[in-house]
């Protein structure tokens, strides 16, 4: 009787363990909370990216947070990752987060002005230029002789530019391509070399990095093929 009981317990334990191994990663762990300061960009990218993550057994939810707030949340272990940051960001978060090697998107940093102002830092001396909180690439290119005007998001920044509340705006080419159709008579100038947008992952999840990189690679093949059709 004792042997049968031990056998029953052993069989149940092994079965439970095998069931655990066969479950997808999303069932074995809580969903990753990945923060993004983009709004409309998310609607273009995130649904299909989230679905591709699920195919690779990665449960992830994407939530909005202002860029500087997202950094603090990631550092305080209140978030698991951050979406669409350039490689410049790595030095800022290297103590607690890592960059996934496969980039999600690519583009350039742009300076945008109205039709009556040349898109040049030289012509914006002493003027107000819109920037986002906590964006490293914008901090690097911002001229010393201009004034920073912090904006909530790129949509409101472009609206401020159109109303003449700011004289220029720093924005990435991806977001500009999404919003520009609603704001006519604007001029642009490229102010950075080609940059890539990466997903940054908290170091406590570094074991998931290869899996996430594979998922991003697979997503890009499908997303850009569909987008080009």
The domain of 223 spans: 30-105+196-228
Which CATH number do you get for residue 125? 3.40.190.10
Residue 190, pLDDT score: 98
Q: Rounded to an integer, what distance in angstroms lies between the CA atom of residue 66 and that of residue 61?
A: 16
C-alpha to C-alpha distance for 153 and 190, rounded to whole angstroms? 20
| One domain, residues 92 and 203 | yes
Taking a C-beta distance cutoff of 8 angstroms, is the pair 197, 107 a contact? yes
Low-confidence ranges of the chain (pLDDT < 70): 1-29, 39-42, 226-229
The first and second tokens of residue 143, run together, are: 């001229």
Task: Find out whether 136 and 89 touch, Cβ atoms under 8 Å.
Answer: yes
Please check whether residues 92 and 117 belong to one and the same domain: no
Residue 23 lies in a domain: no
Per-residue model confidence (pLDDT) at position 178: 86
**Closest residue by Cα to residue 137 from 165, 164, 175:** 175
Judgement on whether residues 169 and 185 belong to the same structural domain of the protein: yes
Alpha carbon distance 93, 82 (integer Å): 11
| Alpha helical stretches, state H, the chain | 2-22, 25-28, 40-55, 67-75, 90-93, 136-141, 154-163, 173-179, 209-228
Judge whether 71 lies within some domain. yes
pLDDT number for residue 187: 96
86 part of a folded domain: yes
pLDDT value at residue 45:
86
Does 95 lie in the same domain as 34? yes
Q: Looking at the domain assignment, is residue 218 inside a domain?
A: yes
Give pLDDT, residue 188.
97
The total domain count for the chain is 2
């Amino acid at each position: 009787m004792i042997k049968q009981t031990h056998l029953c317990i052993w069989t149940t334990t092994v079965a439970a363990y095998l069931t655990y191994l066969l479950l997808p990663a999303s069932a074995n762990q809580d969903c990753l909370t990945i923060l993004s300061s983009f709004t409309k960009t998310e609607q273009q990218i995130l649904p299909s990216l989230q679905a591709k993550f699920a195919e690779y057994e990665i449960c992830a939810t994407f939530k909005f947070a202002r860029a500087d707030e997202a950094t603090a949340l990631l550092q305080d272990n209140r978030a698991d990752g951050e979406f669409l940051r350039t490689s410049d960001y790595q030095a800022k978060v290297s103590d607690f987060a890592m960059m996934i090697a496969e980039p999600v998107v690519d583009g350039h940093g742009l300076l945008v002005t109205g039709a009556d102002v040349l898109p040049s830092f030289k012509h914006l001396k002493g003027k107000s230029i819109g920037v986002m909180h906590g964006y490293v690439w914008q901090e690097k290119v911002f001229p010393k002789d201009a004034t920073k005007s912090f904006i909530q998001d790129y949509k409101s920044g472009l609206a401020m530019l159109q109303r003449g509340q700011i004289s220029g705006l720093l924005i990435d080419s991806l977001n500009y391509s999404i919003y520009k159709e609603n704001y006519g008579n604007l001029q642009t100038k490229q102010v950075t070399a080609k940059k890539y947008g990466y997903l940054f992952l908290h170091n406590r999840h570094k074991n998931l990095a290869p899996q996430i990189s594979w998922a991003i690679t697979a997503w890009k093949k499908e997303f850009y093929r569909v987008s080009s059709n």
